[in-house]
Amino acid sequence: MRTAFYISDGTAITSEVFGHALLSNFPIQFKHKTIPFVETEEEAYKVLEKISESFQDSGQRPLVFYTIVNVDVRKIISRSVGINYNFLDQFVAPLEKVLGVSSKPEKHRTHSIHETTYDIRIEAVNYALANDDGSNIKEYKQADIILVGVSRSGKTPTSLYLALQYGIKAANYPFTEEDMGDMLKLPPALRQYKEKLFGLTIHPERLHQIRSERRANSKYASLQQCRMELREVENLYRREKIPFLNSTKYSVEEISAKILAETGLQRRKY
């Protein structure tokens, strides 16, 4: 199997994202190998050896995706026996022309701490944890968004992703059977923040499957119960005009991106 290397003097996240996106166009399996924080010439030579070994072992030239600010380190990596993609640099010179400004590459600028955004993200993570699962209704005033839905419809991972990636304070509130009664109504604690609500729903069969992994053969996990709860929340969303989406076929990244697009919520970190 051919290996794809992702190399950087930073986290190598940019190389990974670019390389994965490019390789996802091909119906082939690759072996992936990330080597971050290659900051010295000595380390760069070790990387060259790894690339050579991979070539010898597999008989296929590795693909090497790299972004490296340090000129000496970059020169060494660019001599690897792999097929080298210094994919960012070729855009820098044309962009200098467009902008009329010289580039000033700085190491660790992309995925490192930015003073103004660091605290915001950590604060948002703490907020999401403190306001997970309807645990802290009195802090809803500070919420940027309140995710609602039945148990196991994707609220918690989405809240955490919104916090970590975007610095958004997301609370989440689970509608439980007790909320349902004859007909699910919006609890008073939520009604006063109605403009912050965003609903999640999910296919009953998928919910049944997820809940069964937690509590097999329970009423909680039964398909009948899942169907009833989802019917109630979807009716509520429609009746109260709460925007919502069905999370069944979407990743946490997709759900989060869709929520931002639909609500116009501004991220605090780019």
- As annotated, the binding site for ADP includes 149-156
- Residue with Cβ nearer a copy of itself (70 or 110): 110
Q: Least Å distance between CB 223 and a copy of itself?
A: 19
Contacts of 224 (CB under 8 A, 6+ apart): none
Radius of gyration of the chain (CA): 24
User: Which of the ranges 50-58, 154-162, 171-179, 229-237 carries the binding residues for a copy of itself, by CB under 8 A?
Assistant: 154-162
Q: Which of residues 187-246 bind a copy of itself (CB under 8 A)?
A: none
**CA distances (Å), origin 66, targets 46, 82, 84:** 15, 11, 8
Question: Sign of dihedral through CA atoms 77, 79, 81, 86?
Answer: positive
Residue 66, H or E segment: strand 63-67
Tell me if 268 contacts a copy of itself by CB under 8 A. no
Tell me if 16 contacts a copy of itself by CB under 8 A. yes
| DSSP assigned state of 142 | G
C-alpha neighbours within 13 Å on the C-beta side of residue 247: 30
Residues 244/200, Cβ–Cβ less than 8 Å: yes
Direct distance between the N- and C-terminal alpha carbons of the chain, in angstroms, rounded to an integer:
36
Question: Can you tell me which of 75, 118, 130, 218 binds a copy of itself, judged by CB under 8 A?
Answer: 118
Contact pattern for a copy of itself over residues 156 through 195, marking x by CB under 8 A: xx--xx--x-------------------------------
**CA distances (Å), origin 101, targets 94, 104, 118:** 11, 9, 28
Q: In this structure, which amino acid lies at residue 191?
A: R
Q: Which of residues 27-56 bind a copy of itself (CB under 8 A)?
A: 27-28, 32, 34-37
**Residue pointed to by tokens 């995706």:** 65
Residues 132/139, Cβ–Cβ less than 8 Å: no
Task: Tell how strand 3-8 and strand 63-67 pair up.
Answer: parallel
Question: Can you tell me which of 14, 54, 80, 131 binds a copy of itself, judged by CB under 8 A?
Answer: 14
Q: Least Å distance between CB 242 and a copy of itself?
A: 20
Question: Sign of dihedral through CA atoms 126, 130, 134, 137?
Answer: negative
Tell me if 81 contacts a copy of itself by CB under 8 A. no
Question: Can you tell me which of 40, 48, 52, 88 binds a copy of itself, judged by CB under 8 A?
Answer: 88
User: Which of the ranges 71-79, 120-128, 141-149, 194-202 carries the binding residues for a copy of itself, by CB under 8 A?
Assistant: 120-128
User: Which of the ranges 90-98, 173-181, 196-204, 217-225 carries the binding residues for a copy of itself, by CB under 8 A?
Assistant: 90-98
Residue numbers at the binding site for a copy of itself (CB under 8 A): 2, 10-14, 16-18, 20-22, 24-28, 32, 34-37, 61, 63, 67, 83, 85, 87-88, 91-92, 95-96, 98-99, 101, 103-106, 108-113, 118, 121-122, 125-126, 129, 132, 156-157, 160-161, 164, 249-254, 257-258, 260-261, 270
